[in-house]
Amino acid sequence: MKSTTINRFKKMIKPYKKTIILVTLMALFIDLCELIKPFLLERVMDKYLPEKLYIYENISITTIAIIYIILVIVGNIVDYINRIITSNMGEKVVYNLRNDLYRYIGKSNVSFHDKTPSGKLFVRVTSDTEDVYSLFSEVITTLPKDIIIIIGLIIMMIYISIKLSALNILIIPLLLIVTIVITNMMKKIYEKSKEARTVLNTFLAESIYGIKLIKIFNRQKEKQEECETYTKNHRDSSKNLGLLYGLLPALIEIIENIGISIIVIFCVNKWLGINLDVGVIYLFITYFKKIFNPIDRIIENVETVQDSMSSIDKIYEILEHDEYLEDDKSGIDLKEVKGKIEFKHVWFAYEKENWILKDVSFTINPGESIALVGKTGSGKTTITNLINRFYKIQKGEILLDGININDINLKSLRKNIGTILQDPFIFAKSIKDNIKLYSDISDERVEEAVKLASATDFINSLNNGLDEIASERGNSYSAGQKQLIAFARIFAQNPSIFILDEATANIDTTTEELIQKSVDKISAEKTSIFLAHRLSTIVNVDKII
C-alpha cells in the first residue's frame, strides 16, 4: 500500500480514535466470552457428568449454568452495542465524506468542471463512499477482533494438546490456498462486472437523455440491439460468480471436517500418545471449528480493504486539489457599484495558446447599455464568463469601477452581476424557490419580478402557480418559459449589472418588447450587456461591440 494512501487513511480515522479503541476493547470482551463458553461445557462433561456430581470443587452445576447464560446474554448485548457503534461510525464517515465532496464540487472552479465528467463525480459521491463505509463499519472492528480470537484459539488449542494442534495447523495452509485462489478468481469477475456495469450505466443515461433524438430518427431497434450487447456483456462478466460463491463454503466445510476427522482418529487410536477425555476432545473440536470463521473473514476483508483504499485514493485525489478551489474569502468587498467595466488588452485561452480573445479592449461606462454582437463561437459567452471570473485571463486586465476584478471578493463580485445564461437552468423545485434561489427575498418582490418579466400569464396557467414544482431541468416548460423564469430571477435579485446572453432568443416578439421595457426601466441607471447573434434583437443600446 502506498504511503500517501496510509496517510490519507490515518487522517480519516483520527477523529474516531476513541471509538475505535472502545469497539476493539468490546470485541476483546466478546472474544473472551466465546473462549470461556466451551471451557465451561468441558468442565461439565468431564467433571460433573461422569460422576453425576452436583457440586465439584465448591461450585454447583447451577452456578456454571448461570455463568454460561450470563456470558451468552452479556456477550450478545455487547456484540449488539458494538455493531450499533460501528455502523454509526461508518455512517458518520460517509456523511462527512459526501458533504466534503459536495462542498468541493460547489467551491471548485469552472475549469475543474470542464475537465471532470459529471458521471465521475456522481460515482465518487455515491458508490466510492459506500466502499469506505464497509471499511469503517466492518473491517476496522472485525479485523482486530478476528486476529485476537485466532491467536486466543491457537493458544488454547496448544494448551489443550500441542500434538493435536501441530497436526491441525498443517490444514491451515490448505485452507489459505483454497480461499485465496477462489477469492482472487471472484475478485477478477467482480472487476469485470463492475466495468461492464459502468459501460451499461453510461449507455443508459445517454439514451434516456437522447430519447427524443432516437425517436426522431427511428433508431429504437438499433439502440435496443446496442443495449442487448451491453446487458449481455454484463451478464457474461458475472457468469461464473454463483459457481464460485457456492464452492467456497463447501470446500471450507470439507477442509474443516478433514481436520475434525484427524482429531477423532488420533484421539480414538491414541496415536502419538494422545490420550484425552471426551470433554477435552469436545473443547478442542469446538475451538478448531471456531478458527475457520475469522480466517475466512480476514481473507474476505483483504478485498474490502483493497476496494476501500482505492476508493479513498480516488476521493482524496479530488479533495486534495486546492488549486481548483475558488477563493471567496479574501478581496475587496464592493460597497456601491457604479458599473464601469473595462477590458484592457485582454488575452484569453481556455487551453494553452488556443486564443479565444486576442488583445481585446473596450470600456462600458456606468449606466450604459451595450451589445456584444458576433457570429457563433466568436467569444461572446466567454466575455461574460470572464466578467464573472469563472476563468483567469492570461494577459491584460479586467476592471470593475477601476478595480481589477482579481482583487475583488468573489462573492461580492458575483452578487453585483446578474447574468442570464444562454441556456437557463431550472431546479426541480417550486417556481417561487427557483426565483428566490435560497435568498431571503419577500414573496411580494417575487410577484413584482414575475410581473416585470411578463411571466404572469404563464405562471397563472400553471395548476399551482408560483408553487408549481418544476420537473427535472424544467423539462416540462418551453424554452421561452424557462427564459421568463430566468428573467424573473434576475429582476428579483436586482443586481447592479445586467448581462443577458441571448436571453430573449426563445421569446416571442411581443413578450420580448414587454421584457425589454422592464429591462430598460430597471436598468436605466445600471450597466447592461446584451449578447446577440443578430443586430435586430438589439434596440436602444448605447453602443454595439
**Positions in the binding site for ligand ATP (CB under 6 A):** 114, 350-351, 356, 374, 376-382, 422, 533
Partner touching 378 among Mg ion, ligand ATP, none, CB below 5 to 8 Å by kind: ligand ATP
Number of residues that bind Mg ion (CB under 5 A): 2
Contacts of 338 (CB under 8 A, 6+ apart): 366, 367, 401
Partner touching 114 among ligand ATP, Mg ion, none, CB below 5 to 8 Å by kind: ligand ATP
Partner touching 379 among ligand ATP, Mg ion, none, CB below 5 to 8 Å by kind: ligand ATP
Choose between 68 and 391: whose C-beta lies nearer to ligand ATP: 391
Choose between 435 and 499: whose C-beta lies nearer to ligand ATP: 499
Choose between 412 and 422: whose C-beta lies nearer to Mg ion: 422
Smallest distance, Å, CB 112 to ligand ATP?
A: 11
Smallest distance, Å, CB 483 to ligand ATP?
A: 14
Beta-strand runs (E) in 11-128:
55-56, 59-60
Smallest distance, Å, CB 382 to ligand ATP?
A: 3
Length of the chain in residues, anyone?
Answer: 545
| Interface stretch with Mg ion, choices 254-262, 323-331, 348-356, 420-428 (CB under 5 A) | 420-428
Tell me the three cell numbers of residue 238. Answer: 458475472
Choose which of 86, 193, 381, 454 interacts with Mg ion (CB under 5 A): 381
Residue 530 contacts residue 539 (beta carbons within 8 Å): no
Partner touching 249 among ligand ATP, Mg ion, none, CB below 5 to 8 Å by kind: none
Choose between 237 and 381: whose C-beta lies nearer to Mg ion: 381
Residue 256 contacts residue 25 (beta carbons within 8 Å): no
Examine residue 537 and tell whether it contacts Mg ion (CB under 5 A): no
Partner touching 382 among Mg ion, ligand ATP, none, CB below 5 to 8 Å by kind: ligand ATP
Site for Mg ion in 422-451 (CB under 5 A): 422
Smallest distance, Å, CB 252 to ligand ATP?
A: 55
- 163/288 Cα distance (integer angstroms): 14
Smallest distance, Å, CB 24 to ligand ATP?
A: 50
| Interface stretch with Mg ion, choices 175-183, 285-293, 378-386, 512-520 (CB under 5 A) | 378-386
Partner touching 523 among ligand ATP, Mg ion, none, CB below 5 to 8 Å by kind: none
Choose between 268 and 544: whose C-beta lies nearer to ligand ATP: 544
Residue 375 contacts residue 533 (beta carbons within 8 Å): yes
Site for Mg ion in 175-204 (CB under 5 A): none
Examine residue 385 and tell whether it contacts Mg ion (CB under 5 A): no
Residue 366 contacts residue 340 (beta carbons within 8 Å): yes
Q: Where are the alpha helices (DSSP H) in 210-240?
A: 211-216, 220-237
Choose between 242 and 377: whose C-beta lies nearer to ligand ATP: 377
Residue 328 contacts residue 154 (beta carbons within 8 Å): no
Contacts of 344 (CB under 8 A, 6+ apart): 361, 396, 397, 398, 399
DSSP state of 323: G
| Interface stretch with Mg ion, choices 43-51, 335-343, 414-422, 515-523 (CB under 5 A) | 414-422
Residue 425 contacts residue 366 (beta carbons within 8 Å): no
Pairing state of beta strands 497-501 and 55-56? unpaired
Smallest distance, Å, CB 321 to Mg ion?
A: 28
Tell me the three cell numbers of residue 58. Answer: 465448591
Smallest distance, Å, CB 114 to Mg ion?
A: 15
Smallest distance, Å, CB 305 to ligand ATP?
A: 39
Examine residue 419 and tell whether it contacts Mg ion (CB under 5 A): no
Residue 452 to residues 54, 422, 541: CA-CA distances in angstroms? Answer: 95, 20, 19
Partner touching 183 among ligand ATP, Mg ion, none, CB below 5 to 8 Å by kind: none
CA dihedral 421, 422, 426, 432 (to 10 degrees): 60
- 265/282 Cα distance (integer angstroms): 14
Choose between 311 and 381: whose C-beta lies nearer to Mg ion: 381
Q: Name the 3-class secondary structure at 170.
A: coil
Smallest distance, Å, CB 89 to ligand ATP?
A: 41
Choose between 191 and 423: whose C-beta lies nearer to ligand ATP: 423
Choose between 142 and 381: whose C-beta lies nearer to ligand ATP: 381
Choose between 114 and 457: whose C-beta lies nearer to ligand ATP: 114
Choose between 50 and 374: whose C-beta lies nearer to ligand ATP: 374
Cα atoms in the Cβ-side hemisphere of radius 13 Å centred on 360: 22
Smallest distance, Å, CB 501 to Mg ion?
A: 6
Smallest distance, Å, CB 540 to ligand ATP?
A: 21
- 248/23 Cα distance (integer angstroms): 30
Q: Minimal CA–CA distance to 78: which of 119, 124, 24, 40?
A: 24
Smallest distance, Å, CB 242 to ligand ATP?
A: 46
Instruction: Name the residue whose CB lies closest to Mg ion.
Output: 381
Residue 89 contacts residue 132 (beta carbons within 8 Å): no
DSSP state of 48: I
Q: Where are the alpha helices (DSSP H) in 275-425?
A: 278-290, 292-319, 380-387, 410-416
- 482/180 Cα distance (integer angstroms): 58
Q: Minimal CA–CA distance to 379: which of 343, 411, 404?
A: 343
Binding site for Mg ion (CB under 5 A): 381, 422
